[in-house]
Structure 1
Amino acid sequence: MGLRDDELGAWFAPGDAVPVQGETTWSFLHRVAVCYGLEAGELLAWGWWQWVNPVTQSRGRRPDGDVLLNVMAQAQVAAWAGVPVAHLARALPSWTAGPASLGERARADRGWARWRVGAQAWGPVSFGCRLCAARRSGRSQRVWRYGQRWNRVCSRHGRWLLDVDDGHDLEYLDVGGCQELAAAQARWPRVARRAVSTGAEPGAVFAVARAVVCGWWQQEAFWQREHVWGQRLERVTLDTSRRNEAAAQWPAAWWQLVARDAVVFPEVVAVAAALVDPALRLLVSDERPLVRRSRRHDRFMTALGDRLERGWLKEVEWPERPSALQTWMRGVARELRSPSRSASPHSGIWWVPAAHQPAEVGAGLRLLATTPPVAFRGHAGVAGWRAELYVPRRVGRGAGLKAVSEERFWEGLGHARRYVVRHGHLAVPHAGAPQDGFDLGRWLANLRAASAGLPPEFVRALAELDVWWNPPWPISWQRAWHRARAHALAHGLVSGDDNLAGMSRWLERWLRQQIAEYSRLAAEQQQLLAQLGLTAAEIDRFHACPARRRSVLHGLEAAHDYAARHGHLAVSQPTSHDGFALGKWLNQVRHRQRAATQPTRLGRRLTAPDTWWNPPWPLDWQRYYWAARHHLHGLPEGVVWWTGAPDEDQARQWLHAQQASWHLLQPGQQELVSGAARGGVARCRFSSGASAHERDT
């Protein structure tokens, strides 16, 4: 519950330090000291408090540090500021944690204080809006506050508040010309409520959405199609540069990093809303991205692109390309199959792997800068901001941690060696069940994510077990290749002449996908496929095979020819016509037609040779209907019986079965049977108007 302006007016007086909602206690102490013409270090140097963990200036700076006070110290600060303790408890997030963290010193007769890294408990520390602080206290002072990334827009003054300790002097970005940022921040509470209703934590949902959008930010293919971000980035850069001369000299790479979160914020909120939408999650609930690019993947990406007003999104987000969104989609499918496994914090749908987490601004600027940037420069004067006190940091050479890391690696390598002896590779699933009490899949996934910083001896040891333990393509592709290689060793190499006949369904689908995308595969992947027998020459032979899958025109031609010869299209799936798999092709067309909301163009063209080519009842019933009709009325001119057609006795038995179960038939079935029986050959009428006695006889 926050402070309201009318509450502040009850005790506000000129010269008092008025807290800003969400402000750190350490920031508030600085502003209290300024009211007395002092600095925070001078105020604390009077010896009012005892420190549980005193620090010296020899330690590193921690702008996200905070100070926790006991009851006596809190009363003193409230008296200095002229603000009731209850109001400070509501305005400062870390205020109430002070007495609880000090134990028996909480209610001591002397003031006690403790340093604490506040970002670990209350979220990221960002700058506050100076204009908002001046509106409350009458002074324009620098403010540090706990601000989540979805609450960084100062709508009143058009500012995006930046993180502290990012390696630059900017406190905010001028986003007054981007009203969509304030609108997105206003939409976020609704998204958070939807996330809670679905059992998700809003912060985790935002983290996944931010990782997804920041992943697009890094893709060149995305920028080739994106137009909104470039205009928004240019507007923010120009407006901010007018207010800060130093920032006007920044290179473009710095601006792309510093302004990234502000520029993509509306899209992050939109993606978060999509991720918690049950309707969209249904589109990926049975996703199988390890084998092929499914139609449901296209439907989900199309729906997401429509929400973001980027219809081309599915062109840059492929299931074969590892990303935060693909990890989330796999998590959704995994949660549906085995909810207990997804309960792990490292395998749930709201977990972002380290490889997909966005680069932080401070770390990115340190890599871009030729010299280490100064995080915070001192400012002269009483009203300046100088951090005289520092939060302690760990000191030492870290030899103990290095030894522990090496010990854990060699232990994991032993498990990896046993796995290779058993399976022949290290393409272990990320979410596989632990073997012998050791999660080898997660261990290898962590090593792949940190492969750039692994010691050379670690890399050599893993490469000796499996050269492709860390391939540049998805590990799922490598795992599928090993399965295909086992099949090739057992049954021989793949041949393009046999149209991949005789293979299991998953292997045929995977190989067809590799054939379709062969030109886009890496050279090493093509070499691995050659070990299976799938060379460029074999792919050419596959395309030249007459029995391969043909185009839609071939299917329509075969369907019209079959209907003209046999009088219908109620064919079973194994049916072939002149070397074309007509039954399989029609089955796929029926599935697409039923999934569509309206008749497709192909469906309308198939209605011409057979009105009931896609009946809502089983195809076996439809074939028996045609057989009974032809037996009753005789074969039309030019029509011949098809292979396996029911004879006259079977047709008569079928008609009697329809008579007995007339009330169970659908209206369309009743109409067809009645029309066939009205020819005068049937001994009884099968119609809804027949009496019960007639139907019984």
Structure 2
Amino acid sequence: MPRTLPDLTHKALRRIRPLAFETNASFVERLARAHHLTTTEFLNGLRIYRPKISPAREHDYGPHTPTELYLNVGARACISQYTGIPETHLAHALPCWKEHRDRGSASETRPGGAIRPSDLPAVIGCPHCTVARTGQARPILRYLPHHRLVCTRHRTWALGPHTLHGVPVPHAHALLHQTPEIVLAHNAHLRLTRRWGPDADDAIAQAARLTEHWRRHAPKTEQIWPARARLIGNGEDASMWEALAREAITYPETITLARLLIRQPSTRYHRTQPDQPHPLHEVVARLLNRRWLQNPVHYPQDLSHYIRYAPRHPIDGTAYRHHTKPIGHKADTIELTQLGYQPPRPRVKRHGTRGR
């Protein structure tokens, strides 16, 4: 007979609380594991109907596609009642807690849900913080906003899922112990966010697109980013780490450029002819300490689409805080070769012939 949980009139045997920005699937799995049950047994014990896999998107599934458990209003009420955690608290911590398309009230809806690929980018949170919060070393997937990817206490940067020729890359974090400039940039990022709120997000997103373009097309004279990649990778395949930790590699320059865009609206880029110098080129080259950025050939021809930022007003009074959905595109596993990484070819041993 399958194992069942205590009746819902009783509270959970162990109090398991969600981590900020945790996925629904991770939280439910931790609840089940705390009671020595599988996720299926846990849901069955709560009389939650087995979640359905959306047939319309079944072709989107793959070995590296992150999936999410979307719970309907009835299932959410069951879990809230069993754990003793109000739904308002669960919705505050779990970004996708209410993402299911509900029809009817909790009393009218049969508890259930759906499993489908996540629409948000999920990363593995800092492993040291996870152990401190949960007492276990199991990785926990979280929808961390961009300004939460860095853990300043343990000097880690949470990377997204990556593959190389379809095989998962066994690196979930970049270590920042030898790159203090990245941690300093993170502190500047937080100050921008607190003061400017969503405007800072827009400026940083545009600056990140531009620095990524520069990283991919940087001349051989560029030495700072490759050196930073070697430090992050601890000497292991610097070219791979330059692609794998691309956001961390260019992070100090991204934040510096974003501060320029948000504080000086006059720097907005106006459309010019290709390869035509612009006053902004010299300003950026001097600000980022890159002489090669004075050459307009290193800028994309559609730069007016990259830099189109016009700040509104700084936030007065309370500080701005990300709550749920981080900035970013759909959560897809990123292939390293698409980021410009070309793995070295294996050496072929040549066997010479002996003379007779």
Q: Is the aligned partner of 1:263 residue 2:249?
A: yes
Seen in structure 2, the aligned counterparts of structure 1 residues 318 and 165 have a Cα distance that, compared at 3 Å, is: closer
Question: Deviation at 1:42?
Answer: 4.0
Question: For each residue in 1:80-137, what CA deviation from the matched residue of structure 2 results, as whole angstroms up to 9, or x when unmatched?
Answer: 5454433222211111334xx2212644363121335433xxx421111222122122
CA distance, structure 2, for counterparts of residue 55 and residue 35 of structure 1: 28
CA contact (8 A) 2:181 2:252 kept: yes
Secondary structure (helix, strand or coil) at the match of 1:48 reads: coil
- Specify which of 280, 285, 291 is matched with residue 305 of structure 1: 285
Structure 2 counterparts to residues 169-568 of structure 1, below 5 A: 169-192=170-193, 201-221=199-219, 223-224=220-221, 226-238=222-234, 251-278=237-264, 281-283=265-267, 287=270, 289-290=272-273, 293-294=276-277, 297-298=278-279, 300-308=280-288, 310-318=289-297, 322-323=300-301, 325=303, 327-328=305-306, 362-365=334-337, 368=342
TM-score when normalising by structure 2: 0.71
- Matches of 2:343 and 2:81, distance apart in 1: 45
- 3-state SS of 1:191 partner: helix
Q: Indicate the SS of the match to 1:173.
A: strand
- Take 1:292 and 1:164, find their aligned partners in 2: how far apart are those partners? 36
* Contact 2:49–2:112 (Cα < 8 Å) also in 1: yes
Q: What SS does the corresponding residue of 2:104 show, helix, strand or coil?
A: helix
1:258 deviation in Å? 0.6
Assess if the C-alpha contact under 8 Å between 2:281 and 2:294 holds in 1. no
Question: Conserved in 2, the CA contact under 8 Å of 1:31 and 1:141?
Answer: no
The alignment status of 1:103 with 2:83, answered yes or no, reads no
Cα distance in structure 2, aligned partners of 1:270 and 1:86:
37
The 3 A distance-change label for structure 1 pair 212 and 194 is farther
The code of the aligned residue for 1:134 comes to: V
Contact 2:127 2:139 in 1 (8 A): yes
Equivalent residue for 1:128?
A: 125
Unpaired runs of at least 5, structure 2: 1-11, 311-328, 345-356
Contact 1:29–1:40 under 8 Å retained in 2: yes
Question: Contact conserved, 1:19 with 1:88, CA < 8 A, in 2?
Answer: yes
- Whether the aligned pair in 1 keeps the contact of 2:207 and 2:255 (CA below 8 Å) is yes
Cα 1:322/1:264, change in 2 over 3 Å? closer
| 1:621-632 to 2 correspondences below 5 Å | none
Partner in structure 2 of residue 114 of structure 1? 114
Distance in 2, matches of 1:74 and 1:266, equals 41
Partner of 2:39: 40
Question: Which amino acid counterpart does residue 138 of structure 2 have in structure 1?
Answer: Q
| Structure 1 residues 189 and 262: alpha-carbon distance in aligned structure 2, compared to 1, 3 A threshold | same
> Is the contact between residue 15 and residue 137 of structure 1 (CA under 8 Å) also seen in structure 2?
no
Per the alignment, residue 148 of structure 2 pairs with: 151
TM-score (norm 1): 0.39
In 1, Cα distance between equivalents of 2:64 and 2:81: 27
Structure-1 residue corresponding to 2:161: 164
Amino acid at match of 1:155: T
Check the 8 A contact 1:70/1:107 in 2, yes or no. no
Indicate yes or no: 2:138 matched with 1:141.
yes
Aligned CA distance change for structure 1 residues 157 and 266 (closer, same or farther; 3 Å):
same
Q: Distance in 2 between matches of 1:289 and 1:268?
A: 23
Q: Distance in 2 between matches of 1:201 and 1:186?
A: 17
The change in CA–CA distance for 1:283 and 1:82 in structure 2 (over 3 A counts) is closer
Give the 3-state SS of the residue equivalent to 1:26 in structure 2.
Answer: helix
Size of the aligned set, in residue pairs, is: 304
Report the residue type matching 1:272 in the other structure: A
Determine helix, strand or coil for the equivalent of 2:250: helix
Q: Deviations over 1:20-53 (max 9, x none)?
A: 1111111111111221223324434558323574
Q: Is the 8 A contact 1:206 1:268 kept in 2?
A: yes
1:142 counterpart SS class? coil
Q: Deviations over 1:403-440 (max 9, x none)?
A: xxxxxxxxxxxxxxxxxxxxxxxxxxxxxxxxxxxxxx
In the alignment, the residues of structure 1 paired with residue 81 and residue 135 of structure 2 have an alpha-carbon distance, to the nearest angstrom, of 19
Asked if the contact 1:159/1:174 (under 8 Å) is kept, the reply is yes
Q: Cα deviation per residue 1:204-244 (whole Å; 9 max; x = unaligned)?
A: 433321111011111242x41x3332332111101xx8xxx
Equivalent residue number for residue 74 of structure 2: 72
Structure having greater relative contact order (Cα 8 Å, sep ≥ 6):
2
The Cα offsets for residues 148-177 of structure 1, whole Å up to 9 and x where unpaired, read as: 334310112111111135532222111123
Unmatched runs of 5 consecutive residues or more in structure 1? 1-12, 242-247, 336-356, 371-697
Q: Deviations over 1:320-367 (max 9, x none)?
A: x535645445x57xx9xxxxxxxxxxxxxxxxxxxxx9xx87223478
Matching residue's letter, 2:76: Q
CA distance in 1: counterparts of 2:255 and 2:177, whole angstroms: 19
Q: Which has the higher strand share?
A: 2
1:301, 1:314 within 8 Å by CA — same for their partners in 2? Answer: yes
Q: Is the 8 A contact 2:244 2:336 kept in 1?
A: no
Identify the residue that residue 349 of structure 2 maps to in structure 1. none
Assess, with a 3 A threshold, how the Cα gap between structure 1 residues 83 and 213 changes in structure 2: closer, same or farther.
Answer: same
